[in-house]
Amino acid sequence: MIARQPPAGGQPPSASPPGRGRPQFTMRGMMATVVLLCVPFAIWGGLLREGARAADSTRVLVYIVLVMAAPMLVMVLVGLVKPAIGFWRWLRGR
């Protein structure tokens, strides 16, 4: 093994990588968001299903797309709230 030489300043290189910062979401917050949003979406899905039985079947396709895309879309929107608030405060501070 070859030992590393300290830089010219005499200080050894930093062994620890820089911190990644605070995570954007906690597991508790994500689960609370999903649970609070799943109930209204389930109700809405039931209403769409009953409406599809009475009407045409194109609403079933809308329902399937919404069920697959809604959780990810909600997390993206929640993730954009903090930057949007920071941008709003920056605009007001000018």
State the residue for tokens 């039985």. Answer: 53
pLDDT at 12 over 60: no
pLDDT at residue number 13 = 56
Label each residue of 46-76 as H, E or C: HHHHHHHHHCCCHHHHHHHHHHHHHHHHHHH
Between 55 and 49, the more confident residue is 49
Q: What is the pLDDT of residues 52-70, one digit of tens each?
A: 666 666 666 777 777 778 7
| Structural domain boundaries in the chain | 27-93
